Amino acid sequence: MTTDVTIIGAGLGGLTLARVLHVHGIRATVYEAEASATARAQGGMLDIHEDNGQPALRAAGLMDEFRGLVLEGREATRVLASDGTVLFDDDSTRGRPEALRGELRRILLGSLPAGTVRWGHKVSGVRALGEGRHEVTFADGSTVVTGLLVGADGAWSRVRPLLSDAVPEYTGRSFVETYLLDGDTRHPAAAKAVGGGSMFALAPGKGIQAHRESGGTLHTYVALSESQDWFAAVDFTDAAAAAARIAQEFDGWAPELTALITDGETAPVLRTLSALPTGHRWDRVPGVTLLGDAAHLSAPNGEGANLAMLDGAELGRLIAAHPDDVEAALTAYEEAMFPRSAAAATDGARLHGLLFGQDAPHGLITMFTGHEQP
């Protein structure tokens, strides 16, 4: 390999690529905007799937480390009616072990040679130099030139414009994220409602989805199908007022469910959900490609991080398989990635229909009981 690989973004996708390249003896440098590995909390639990996340971790040689992170029992799933009645409760495992995203990122970072990730390098621009070479400019004005550039820089990728004019659009729905800490002791009714793993309390167009994390932390995404203007009118700088405003949309719901919104120990955080068009693709451009959310951002459906890791693992494998022909590697990678991510986005849209459609919460129960395929 004559060219080092330049990866923009140290999320799960970019780090999996760097790791798989390292396993194959290929050097990579990852440029990351954040100042350090601990600059930002990494979000909640991820279930790692048998058909994408797990093979990626296997290719990265990290399955043993991953098994050490799995939080037992967190695959339990329940669906509640708005009055708190348990409509569906299943504590079986479905081959989708759960781990904290931050812990997964930690094992990936720990598996790379020192200095692989250059923290505090926010990309401000990229330009083609011809013959597959690109110049990357950082916010401090410094530049690097590379013969193989990979945009793993998430939803608002700075690399994407080299390949495509597509821009993510608002999905019409957002999440508001809350945390209740030490739930069993401090919020026993809410902790009981959530149960041992995931809890979905759903109605058409909205829902309260919570997850039991480590140490009894109850992590909640409150889903509302409202416009961006509607959310802009909520004052998220006043935590109590914002929580009360969001909870107002669940007037009449069981108090142990609305407590997940109003009794949070951290300020509620708005997560605006945007997506690229389903089937987003581009014509081959020499020397550059995208992976993960940069390539196929979709509304959260439990697949995004898993797909990003599989993209990284597959791209790494193909670069190693074509040491003298980067274009053959990128072509093979994109030919498999485009249909894979389009299929996942289509399934994801159907899942959102089951979660928040007119039949909620019964559509999801039908899916869990096996009468509808996920």
Ligand X SMILES: Cc1cc2nc3c(=O)[nH]c(=O)nc-3n(C[C@H](O)[C@H](O)[C@H](O)COP(=O)(O)OP(=O)(O)OC[C@H]3O[C@@H](n4cnc5c(N)ncnc54)[C@H](O)[C@@H]3O)c2cc1C
- Residues that constitute the known binding site: 40, 47, 101, 293
Shortest approach of ligand X to residue 244 CB, angstroms? 22
Check if the beta carbon of residue 293 is closer than 8 Å to that of residue 308: yes
* Stretch touching ligand X by CB under 6 A, among 5-13, 72-80, 280-288, 344-352: 5-13
Q: Residue 144, exposed/middle/buried by CB under 10 A (0-12, 13-18, 19+)?
A: middle
Shortest approach of ligand X to residue 197 CB, angstroms? 12
Check if the beta carbon of residue 227 is closer than 8 Å to that of residue 52: no
What is the CA 95 to chain-centroid distance, rounded? Answer: 19
Check if the beta carbon of residue 347 is closer than 8 Å to that of residue 301: yes
Identify the three-state secondary structure at position 89.
strand
Cα gap 292→251, rounded to integer Å? 38
Shortest approach of ligand X to residue 5 CB, angstroms? 15
For residues 149 to 168, the per-residue mask of contacts with ligand X, x marking binding by CB under 6 A and - elsewhere, is: ---xxx---x----------
Site for ligand X in 259-298 (CB under 6 A): 271, 292-294
- Comparison of 254 and 304: residue with beta carbon closer to ligand X: 304
Site for ligand X in 175-204 (CB under 6 A): 175
Shortest approach of ligand X to residue 109 CB, angstroms? 11
Tokens representing residue 325 in the block: 């022909």
173 in contact with ligand X (CB under 6 A): no
- Comparison of 254 and 312: residue with beta carbon closer to ligand X: 312
- Comparison of 84 and 274: residue with beta carbon closer to ligand X: 274
Cα gap 216→78, rounded to integer Å? 17
Contacts of 110 (CB under 8 A, 6+ apart): none
Per residue in 259-287, is it b (16+ CB within 10 Å) or e — as a string? bbbbbbeeebeeeebbbbbeebbbeeeeb
Instruction: Write out the binding residues for NADPH.
Output: 40
305 in contact with ligand X (CB under 6 A): yes
* Stretch touching ligand X by CB under 6 A, among 163-171, 184-192, 301-309, 347-355: 301-309
- Comparison of 180 and 254: residue with beta carbon closer to ligand X: 180
33 in contact with ligand X (CB under 6 A): yes
- Comparison of 191 and 305: residue with beta carbon closer to ligand X: 305
31 in contact with ligand X (CB under 6 A): yes
Shortest approach of ligand X to residue 41 CB, angstroms? 12
Looking up tokens 């330049």 gives 6
Shortest approach of ligand X to residue 124 CB, angstroms? 7
What is the CA 324 to chain-centroid distance, rounded? Answer: 33
- Comparison of 13 and 197: residue with beta carbon closer to ligand X: 13
State the DSSP string of 18-63.
HHHHHHTT--EEEE-SSSSTTSS---SEEEPPTTTHHHHHHHTT-H
10 in contact with ligand X (CB under 6 A): yes
Strand 269-275 to 149-151 pairing:
unpaired
Instruction: Write out the binding residues for FAD.
Output: 47, 101, 293
CA atoms within 13 Å, Cβ hemisphere of 251? 3
- Comparison of 254 and 289: residue with beta carbon closer to ligand X: 289
Site for ligand X in 42-101 (CB under 6 A): 46
Q: Which residues bind ligand X (CB under 6 A)?
A: 8-14, 31-34, 46, 122-123, 152-154, 158, 175, 221, 271, 292-294, 300, 302-306, 308
